[in-house]
Structure 1
Amino acid sequence: MESQKNVSEFILLGLSFQNIQLFCFVLFLNCYVALLLGNLLILISIRCSPIFYQPMNYFLSHLSFMDICFASCVTPKFIGDLLVKRKTISYSNCMSQVFAMHFIGMNEVLILTIMAFDCYVAICKPLHYMIIMNKTKCNFLILAAWAGGAAHSFPQFFIAILPPFCGPNEINHYFCDIFPLLKISLCTDTYITGVLVLANSGLVTLVTFMVLFVSYVIILFTLRSHSAEGRRKALSTCGSHITEIVVFFGPAIFSYLRPPTTFPEDKVFALFYTIIAPVFNPLIYTLRNTEMKSAMRKVWCQAS
């Protein structure tokens, strides 16, 4: 049998769309270009306008940057693989992909949580908003998100590299992830490892989702005492955030909050949090945000 050190590459089986590979290539290439342009548009618009110093927009600029990084870990290779018959990835690149996906993904989860906290303070503690969400605390929260991403991703990385890969080196996915890797680790018992992944990824995702859910229940309850105009403005901002949470967390919970196994649907659900959610973020946060649209007009009209 092959030992772990002898595995130099893995074969990615990719999506099961053999007859429409070219169509998928064009579709996902356009999605990736739209993702890059849309998130760069938000990032530059915020950074070049006074709204950068507003906490929610400050956090949104970091979320856009994370979206670009998160999608770029997987999407370029995935798109290129649609044009080739044999899809391979080296052992080192595979493990790097596992680390990067979980590091940036957890960073995004924590930034979404921070944005929910910002909404809560703005609506439920408006008189104390500038004290609670000052520049120093905003910077600290972003640093905490990066630290949380590292604390989550390093255990996942070690879980990925420790099992010996002595079976077939075919990964039934279009990128390297923990459960597909555990499935091909045939010469060791991965039950305990799967439980650790469930605790580190599944439960963390579920608990974060529940915290966000409770936060928005409190926010919506508090809005009952606001004026109609205040409710409209708050719901516009919070509605964008809730939409993003549903699109991102729904597939992520399905993918990780379960026993260590794989399903054919995993690849389709993974498309939501690797490509679709980052593509729709710019639309979600600009079409419903009057302040953002105004900032974009000022920045880009002056530039032209």
Structure 2
Amino acid sequence: MALRNHSTVTEFILMGLSANPHIEALLFVLFLVIYLLTLTGNLMLLLVIRADSHLHTPMYFFLSNLSFLDLCFSSVTVPKLLVDLLSEKKTISVDGCLAQVFFVVITAGTEAFLLSVMAYDRYAAICHPLLYAQLMSHHLCVRLVLVSWGLAGLNSVAIVLLAVSLNFCKDQVIHHYICELPSLFPLSCSDISINTDILICIILLHGFGTSLPISFSYAHIISTIFTISSTTGRSKAFNTCSSHLIAVILFFSSGLIHYLNPTSSSNLDFLFSVQYSVVTPMVNHLIYSLKNKEVKTTVKNTLEKYL
């Protein structure tokens, strides 16, 4: 293992988002608020779905798993970012860096697979409503979630092995606010061309493997919606999948752009990274909550009951 055997590298220095203490203070407050909103919003959605028996359906089962993933994804990156914003020296150990790479990839990867599964769920509900209960049984839903975690786990192991194979010399400064494989490539003194090609292949396979089922599902959904004669029916069908479509666009657009530019450390790359790792976990539950009448009604009834 090249990383561990190289005695000159024991830790990395993270550059963070800014070197200005005043800007760092403002960013600390901003990201603390975002993190608290992410925690409270996703936890509330989890509790609401669990408390209301009317929400014990495949769609809300997947939505509760998405909320749990958003909690994990945000907790992998934001707490370390908050600590660094208050620290003069932003360091992370080699093991800590590898662990962060692994958990970022497994949570983000599982979310991509889960969004693909949720697209299939919407396809079954809109295109085959009479067979929906048979197509989306509880056992199948559980299996789909477990397969999502399993495939993302294999993907994350492959990416961590790419990081372990790198050989680092003297440069320890990561031009990013978190440890990700693309940000480690510029620090390596070994040839990274093969690693870069393998990373791009993994990301493309993962991206196409999750986006193609989404495209297939929505192609059939749109064609089915156009066959609905009533305006009310078309509007209801569109509303059931619009939240999911917004979440897909936010997550995939920023994530793929960030990972397909492996050596980029520009401000635009930072923006895409912040969007998919910090902002998206906060926004997802708001998208589903504000656009879903059942969730809003359940939240209202729960608050009236306890307050």
| TM above 0.5 | yes
Separation in structure 2 between the aligned mates of residue 143 and residue 5 of structure 1, nearest angstrom: 39
Separation in structure 1 between the aligned mates of residue 80 and residue 265 of structure 2, nearest angstrom: 22
* SS of 1:164 mapped into structure 2: coil
Deviation at 1:52, TM superposition (A): 4.0
Name the residue aligned to 1:211.
213
Separation in structure 2 between the aligned mates of residue 13 and residue 143 of structure 1, nearest angstrom: 36
Deviation at 1:17, TM superposition (A): 6.0
Aligned pair 1:91/2:77, yes or no? Answer: no
Name the residue aligned to 2:63.
60
> For residue 187 of structure 2, what is the amino acid of its counterpart?
I
Aligned pair 1:12/2:14, yes or no? Answer: yes
Name the residue aligned to 2:255.
252
Name the residue aligned to 1:141.
144
Aligned positions of 1:125-140 closer than 5 A: 125-140=128-143
Unpaired runs of at least 5, structure 2: none
Q: Between 144-153 and 11-20, report the one with greater CA deviation.
A: 11-20
* SS of 1:11 mapped into structure 2: strand
* SS of 1:262 mapped into structure 2: coil
1:281 to 269, 272, 284: 284
2:53 to 47, 50, 53: 50
Measured against aligned partners, the alpha-carbon deviations of 1:17-57 in whole angstroms (never above 9, x if no partner) come to 62511111111110110111111111110011113420000
Are the aligned partners of 1:13 and 1:87 in contact in 2 as well (CA < 8 Å)? yes
* SS of 1:66 mapped into structure 2: helix
Separation in structure 1 between the aligned mates of residue 151 and residue 284 of structure 2, nearest angstrom: 22
* SS of 1:275 mapped into structure 2: helix
* SS of 1:10 mapped into structure 2: strand
Separation in structure 2 between the aligned mates of residue 6 and residue 205 of structure 1, nearest angstrom: 36
Deviation at 1:303, TM superposition (A): 3.2
Aligned pair 1:179/2:195, yes or no? Answer: no
Separation in structure 2 between the aligned mates of residue 185 and residue 150 of structure 1, nearest angstrom: 25
> For residue 116 of structure 1, what is the amino acid of its counterpart?
A
Are the aligned partners of 1:206 and 1:257 in contact in 2 as well (CA < 8 Å)? no
2:41 to 38, 43, 49: 38
Deviation at 1:148, TM superposition (A): 1.1
Separation in structure 1 between the aligned mates of residue 73 and residue 174 of structure 2, nearest angstrom: 20
Name the residue aligned to 1:221.
223
Separation in structure 1 between the aligned mates of residue 19 and residue 74 of structure 2, nearest angstrom: 21
Separation in structure 2 between the aligned mates of residue 181 and residue 296 of structure 1, nearest angstrom: 44
Separation in structure 2 between the aligned mates of residue 4 and residue 57 of structure 1, nearest angstrom: 48
Name the residue aligned to 2:31.
28
Measured against aligned partners, the alpha-carbon deviations of 1:196-240 in whole angstroms (never above 9, x if no partner) come to 111112442244224323321321121012232222222112110
Name the residue aligned to 1:238.
241
Deviation at 1:6, TM superposition (A): 3.5
Q: Between 74-83 and 56-65, report the one with greater CA deviation.
A: 74-83
Are the aligned partners of 1:103 and 1:149 in contact in 2 as well (CA < 8 Å)? yes
Measured against aligned partners, the alpha-carbon deviations of 1:139-195 in whole angstroms (never above 9, x if no partner) come to 111111111111111101111112111131100000000011111011x11111111
Q: Between 60-69 and 228-237, report the one with greater CA deviation.
A: 228-237
Deviation at 1:291, TM superposition (A): 1.1
Are the aligned partners of 2:175 and 2:265 in contact in 1 as well (CA < 8 Å)? no
Name the residue aligned to 2:193.
191
Number of equivalent positions: 301
> For residue 151 of structure 1, what is the amino acid of its counterpart?
L
Separation in structure 2 between the aligned mates of residue 215 and residue 78 of structure 1, nearest angstrom: 37
Note the aligned Cα RMSD (angstroms).
1.6
Which aligned segments of 4 or more residues in structure 1 are displaced greater than 4 angstroms?
Answer: none
Unpaired runs of at least 5, structure 1: none
Name the residue aligned to 2:272.
269
Separation in structure 1 between the aligned mates of residue 219 and residue 239 of structure 2, nearest angstrom: 15
Provide TM-score, normalisation by structure 2.
Answer: 0.93
Q: How many percent identity over aligned positions?
A: 36
Are the aligned partners of 1:29 and 1:79 in contact in 2 as well (CA < 8 Å)? yes
Deviation at 1:115, TM superposition (A): 0.5
